[in-house]
Amino acid sequence: EDQVTQSPEALRLQEGESSSLNCSYTVSGLRGLFWYRQDPGKGPEFLFTLYSAGEEKEKERLKATLTKKESFLHITAPKPEDSATYLCAVQARGATNKLIFGTGTLLAVQP
Amino acid sequence: DAGITQSPRHKVTETGTPVTLRCHQTENHRYMYWYRQDPGHGLRLIHYSYGVKDTDKGEVSDGYSVSRSKTEDFLLTLESATSSQTSVYFCAISPGTMTTNEKLFFGSGTQLSVL
């Protein structure tokens, strides 16, 4: 069964304190792995898509990496505005139009 | 939210009553999706549409039906609402197919409470 597990469930950081979020996945052939950001009371907002092991994507203070079993979202020198829930999702080969989402990591960055 | 409007934003209803949620887009995207989000489960796909009058089931489609009579509108209907359908419902759109790894654009959600 295709599955996505995110850890930790919640993370509290001081401003400037770098850290990483983890997304472990089990899927019958990965077509793509997606990272989204979700603010309270809003819908998820797309951040990155990764397609193959070894691939990396960056956007401001965020960098996403991918291996054959997991993905990391690295947050460098976070700011309070980076506080949000970060969601990971995978698409399996042949699973047209269907993403499997993890339950997310709630990140709080304190000034 | 990429030209996506969900209505209503909040709704409280009673068990056994029919409920319809609406998703309206101004992007002319071909694909539209309905997801529900519950604590401990993450986002789960209910139904999706790949064109006018073309729909298919997701992983949690029981108790839900959908219709798409126009490109811009995608309706989700709970024929007889149950307490287990209390959730936050999100509409999403994409211009292409997920086989081409198109990213999803999400609406702001509808908080539905079934009492």
Residue B80 has pLDDT above 80, yes or no: yes
Closest-approach residue (CA) in chain A for B96: A97
Give the residue-averaged pLDDT of B82-111: 87
Q: Average per-residue pLDDT in chain B? A: 93
111 residues of chain A, pLDDT tens digit each: 889 999 999 999 999 999 999 999 999 889 899 999 999 999 999 999 999 999 999 999 999 999 999 999 999 999 999 999 999 999 988 776 788 999 999 999 999
Q: What's the pLDDT at B44?
A: 96
Q: What's the pLDDT at B68?
A: 97
CA pair distance B95, B93, nearest whole angstrom: 7
**Token pair for A4:** 């996505």
CB-CB neighbors (< 8 A) of B48 in chain A? 97
Q: What's the pLDDT at B1?
A: 53
B20: DSSP letter? E
Q: What's the pLDDT at B11?
A: 97
Residue B40 pLDDT level (bands cut at 50, 70, 90): confident
Which candidate, A91, A109, A93, places its Cα nearest to that of A21? A109
Residue B14 has pLDDT above 90, yes or no: yes
**Torsion region of B95: left, alpha or beta (phi above 0 gives left; psi -120 to 50 gives alpha):** alpha
Query: Helix %, strand %, coil % for chain A, to 5?
Result: 5, 60, 40
Give the residue-averaged pLDDT of B54-67: 95
Q: What's the pLDDT at B95?
A: 82
Test mutation, B36, B98, B105, B111, chain A, max A CBs within 10 A: B98
